[in-house]
Chain A
């Protein structure tokens, strides 16, 4: 059982470059989320998709865009990367929106120089 799969695991970008983080889940979950994790801070919600076809901003959406490609896939795009976006990014999913258990991917470590 793969659960939540994220790619790439590591990425180094230069300021101004763009990239897309990919996420896929195989649990038939309706809701998907993107979080970032920075030292000394709790996980912060960037964007979420409560169900296929919908996306909404979370706590820290600036500089990011998302696409819920289908029920399985939810991508996060950085259009013009900035050093402040250096972080570890986690994709998560839940059976329904606000369901009390999140299943997380292994994370994507992004460094912006």
Chain B
């Protein structure tokens, strides 16, 4: 069964600290994995995309990694800011069938 699981479900960190969010998937055949950020009361916004051949990709303070062999991805946030408080959603696409598989998200709260 094609699934996407994220951990932790929620996370509270102090401003300025780093954190890592995890995404494990069983979606096959794998096409790509995208991380979205969803602010409260808003729609998800794409942060980064990882394809099969990519191991690491950065977007400012966000760094995503992908291990296609173990079917795991992580999103590392460096020097967190209050504006990083949001839900982070992992979305995996299949190579065939044009389907998106959504994780349930990690709710991140950054406190001063």
Within 8 A of A (CB), among B24-41: 31-32, 34, 41
Q: Mark B31-59, 1 if CB is under 8 A from A, else 0.
A: 11010000001111110010000000000
Q: Tell me the total A-B contact number using a CB cutoff of 8 A.
A: 46
- Most chain-B Cβ atoms within 10 A of its Cβ — which of A43, A45, A90, A102? A43
Q: Which of B11-19, B71-79, B92-100 contacts A (4 or more CB under 8 A)?
A: B92-100
Q: Is A104 an interface residue (CB 8 A)?
A: yes
Given A98-B93, A100-B32, A104-B44 in contact, is the A42-B49 Cβ separation under 8 Å?
Answer: no
- From B94, which residue of chain A is reached at the shortest CB distance? A98
> Which A residues lie within 8 Å of B4 (CB)?
42
> Which A residues lie within 8 Å of B86 (CB)?
none
Complex contact A107–B98 (CB within 8 A): no
State the main secondary structure of chain A at its contact with B.
loop
On chain B, the number of residues with a Cβ less than 8 Å from chain A's Cβ atoms is 23
Within 8 A of B (CB), among A16-30: none
How many Å lie between the Cα of A42 and that of B91 in the bound state? Answer: 9
How many Å lie between the Cα of A102 and that of B44 in the bound state? Answer: 9
Complex contact B98–A98 (CB within 8 A): yes
Complex contact B41–A107 (CB within 8 A): yes
- From A3, which residue of chain B is reached at the shortest CB distance? B43
Q: Mark B101-112, 1 if CB is under 8 A from A, else 0.
A: 111110000000
Q: Which residues of A approach B to under 8 Å, CB–CB?
A: 4, 40-45, 50, 90, 92, 97-98, 100-102, 104-107
Q: Which residues of B approach A to under 8 Å, CB–CB?
A: 4, 31-32, 34, 41-46, 49, 89, 91, 93, 97-105
